[in-house]
Amino acid sequence: MELKEAMEAATADLDVRPGFVGDVMAGARRRHTRKLLAVTAAIALVAGVTTGVVLTRSPEPEREPLTAADPRLTAATSGDLAGDAEYVRRSLATWGSSRSLVSGIVTEVSTDAHVFWAANTPNGPASLIAQSVRVRGTPDPQTLVGMVHDGVVVDQSVAYQGLDNERSIYRLGTANLTYVVMGLGQRVFWSVNPVRGPDQRYSREWREAEFNGGVAVVNVKPEQKAVFVRTNEAPAAQDFTRQRLVPLQEIREATPVEPRPGLGWKDVMWASKRQEPSRPASSQDKLMSDDLVRRGYLDYDSAYASYPLWEVRAWLPDGRFAVVLEMSGELIGGLYQADGTFDRVLLGGTAVKGAPLPVRVALPDGQGTILAERGALVGPEEQRDAWLAPPGTTEVSLVRSGNVTSVVPL
């Protein structure tokens, strides 16, 4: 199966914004290595919801030993519970009797499961386990890595040899969150409580995690919005381009559920009569949110957890292109030159569900105002969903369901 077909099949039951798979595939031409983890995690997560295999080896004819080239499979156990033989035994028993969280890609498991870290954490004892496996698409053995905590396998992922795709971060607890993260030969930095400045750009103060036996344990409060990155250089305060390490629980929490948050809209809406091309020149193969992230207008947390479900687009009278969307309950957008060059950010304030014309974003340089209300006919020509109001417009006619007409002052 081609990768795009696999992505579409894997995300068929998820509520994602229009064109999500196509945008991911197009952007991946330049970000293949960096994004491979997200693709693998998406497929494995969806497959694990519907099926599973017990991590014990089935009887089969003699064949070459299934052993991955991973030092964790034979490394001495580290952590303050390394000498607790009974805890190590229970961890392996839980691992071996549990159903795999990545059964959609694992085809065979070895008998070499090994606890390479076992320690007490602020949320109780936990262990990290590695095991050789065979997976679809590659003949070489790979490594299944995961955590056992409180008698449950909380996460598993396949670490592919030679690829920098390993997540290896785990979150424990609810009232107080404990993050357990592996260094994998690099430094790990973490940050809490992003700050938004008067220019509406975010910044973060970064701290370096302390390792013991190649594993760091960090305890934070849920409201602190902790973010972790694995890199050899400390990120700058307004550097939001690093690959964030996301535990499985937060991947699951990021999936939109009903009712949708914020305005609850979906799809692309056009405020201008001109709708071609659908995006300007060089921005065809990227997400607009990438531009906002690079400039610090979206935080790691908001960009990851609230990917847009709707957009309002408009070609402006002077030939520029504008797009408005909703992230973390706020209206934000971007203005582009015709060649796709990012011009500036557009800020629209809080998105208020139920308010008349909840999208009202004034454009610079006398280009008018983008107005939108999903399902309504907007403006004197009764344009569906959205309208680019000319400069100086002080009120707008609105026709809602049931042909109810009203005039909304701006």
Q: What is the pLDDT of residues 70-85, one digit of tens each?
A: 999 999 999 999 999 9
Does the pLDDT value for residue 370 go beyond 70? yes
Which two tokens mark 78?
């580290």
Are the C-beta atoms of 379 and 386 separated by less than 8 Å?
no
Residue 45 has pLDDT above 70, yes or no: no
Over range 152-181, report the average pLDDT.
93
DSSP-derived 3-state class of residue 97: helix
Predicted pLDDT at 10:
42
Task: Please report which confidence band the pLDDT of residue 27 belongs to, taking 50, 70 and 90 as the band edges.
Answer: very low
Distance separating alpha carbons of residues 172 and 326, to the nearest angstrom: 30
In terms of pLDDT, which residue wins out, 264 or 51? 264
pLDDT in tens, 254-269: 655 455 567 888 889 9
Nearest of 290, 314, 392, 295 to residue 31 by alpha carbon: 290
State the pTM of this model. 0.73
Q: Are 267 and 18 in contact (CB under 8 A)?
A: yes
- The pLDDT score that the predictor gives to residue 52 is 44
Query: What is the amino acid identity at position 88?
Result: V
293-350 pLDDT per residue, tens: 888 998 886 654 445 679 999 999 999 999 999 887 889 999 999 999 999 999 999 9
| pLDDT reported for residue 291 | 86
- Return the DSSP state at 208: E
**What is the rounded average pLDDT of the residues 125-135?**
97
Angle ∠(86,92,98) on CA atoms, nearest 5 = 135
Whether residue 138 contacts residue 108, with contact meaning beta carbons closer than 8 Å, is answered with no
Q: How far apart are CA 286 and CA 274, in angstroms?
A: 21
Which of 110-119, 176-185, 196-205, 282-291 is least confident?
Answer: 282-291
Residue ranges per structural domain of the chain? 3-247, 267-409
Q: 103 by DSSP, 3-state: which?
A: coil
Mean pLDDT computed over every residue of the chain: 83
- Sheet of 177-182: strand order equals 169-172, 177-182, 215-220
Vertex 161, ends 158 and 166: CA angle to 5°? 45
Nearest to 221 by CA among 180, 174, 176, 189: 176
| pLDDT value at residue 7 | 43
Cβ-based neighbour number of residue 296 at 10 Å:
23
Residue 46 confidence (pLDDT): 40
What is residue 260's predicted lDDT score, i.e. its pLDDT?
Answer: 59
For 331-395, give the secondary structure using H, E and C: EEEEEECCCCCEEEEEEEEECCCCCCCCEEEECCCCCCEEEEEEEEEECCCCEEEEEEECCCCCE
